[in-house]
Amino acid sequence: MFNFNNRQRPMMGMGGGGGGGGGMGRACYVYDENQQANPNLVTPDVTYQRGIDMNIPLTMDDGNTITMWGFTDRNRGMNRGTFPSAPIRVTQGQIVHTKLTVNMMWAHTIHHHGIEPGWESDGVGHISWDVQGGSYTYQWRPMYPGTYFYHCHTNTVLHAEMGMYGALIVDPPEGPGTLLSGGPTYDVEAFWVVDEIDSRWHTLSWNAGTCGEDVGLNILNPDYFIITGVDGTGTSAMNTPPISATVQVGQKLLARYICAGYHPQRIRFGGLTGTAYVSDGRLLPNPVQVTELRAHSGERYDIMFEPTTPGEYIIEADVIHWISGAVLGTVRTKVTVI
């Protein structure tokens, strides 16, 4: 059914571009020959459509602007992407299509991290194919409620660092407001997606390093620290829902935490005690009381808070060097209890 011949392409147009636009040309291991229709498609319950934006400006608190890459939301007719990309939110058991359209200049995929579709829908470009100069539809059916994320899996180390990801939320049949079928429920939702940025990487072309040349992707020296798309080291994230949250005593807050960086993280809840119900989209054997959590790249936690004392609680996530253990940076946001 699929032609795997002639997968190795000659290097053409390497080193072009950089910065906004992500450069042009091909890469040595990008397999774009087999973008015919996904052979197993059935009628979906819901379809998400995503395009590509290789020039998303992100302005930091110090005034510098970093170029991010991301997905556009073609369902809403958006030609511009956002960082993070627009959430995908579905109901447990739905058959979902994600249609990705990429123009001729670059190759990208969508991998629905933590979802387990057939291999032709897994979006791991390195072992199947990348999407370039056309569209491809991924089909998947989430079976477990919780917090996931989707990201590009072409030249993954670079493209994920460049911001090509968005939240993927699976609700139980009850819909938003309920974490798991039959409970627990929540009143307010917060999204804590913690990431680091090495601005040196953000001048590279989309295909940098794919032909074996050393472009330094083994060296990540972050100079910015991000929570859910904003600079997390100043005050930007303090009063920016759905990062910061306000709850009344007696209400329940669900925090959806995603470790979107490469260095390990430790998130501290500022004196609040939460209950972790779900880890990486799977129910924990028993709910766990937590005042802090550690996570590695790609991990997610669903944590419920039911605060009893009014006040302001500062949520802090440390980004920790994977070898030395040094704290490289700390992002902050706030839960206000009234």
Residues at the site binding Cu ion, with contacts judged by CB under 5 A: 108, 152, 154, 159, 164
Q: Residue 164 or residue 180: which is nearer to Cu ion going by CB? A: 164
Q: Residue 137 or residue 156: which is nearer to Cu ion going by CB? A: 156
87 cis-preceded (ω within 30 degrees of 0): no
Residue nearest to Cu ion (CB): 152
Smallest separation (angstroms) from Cu ion to the CB of 40: 24
Q: How close are the terminal C-alpha atoms of the chain, in Å?
A: 60
Contact call for residues 82 and 50 (beta carbons, < 8 A): no
What would the DSSP string read from start to end of 171-223? E-TT-TTBSSTT--B-SEEEEEEEEEE-GGGGGS-TTTTTTS---STT-----
Contact call for residues 217 and 157 (beta carbons, < 8 A): yes
Smallest separation (angstroms) from Cu ion to the CB of 50: 11
User: What contacts 45, CB < 8 A, 6 or more positions away?
Assistant: 91, 94, 95, 96
Q: Residue 110 or residue 230: which is nearer to Cu ion going by CB? A: 110
Q: Residue 154 or residue 228: which is nearer to Cu ion going by CB? A: 154
62 phi and psi angles, rounded to 5 deg: -85, 5
Smallest separation (angstroms) from Cu ion to the CB of 72: 13
Q: Residue 159 or residue 332: which is nearer to Cu ion going by CB? A: 159
CB-facing half-sphere around the CA of 335: CA atoms within 13 A: 31
Smallest separation (angstroms) from Cu ion to the CB of 168: 16
Q: Residue 69 or residue 305: which is nearer to Cu ion going by CB? A: 69
Smallest separation (angstroms) from Cu ion to the CB of 150: 11
In whole angstroms, how far apart are CA 314 and each of 11, 234, 271, 273?
Answer: 50, 13, 8, 12
C-alpha 32/C-alpha 2 separation (Å) is 12
Smallest separation (angstroms) from Cu ion to the CB of 231: 23
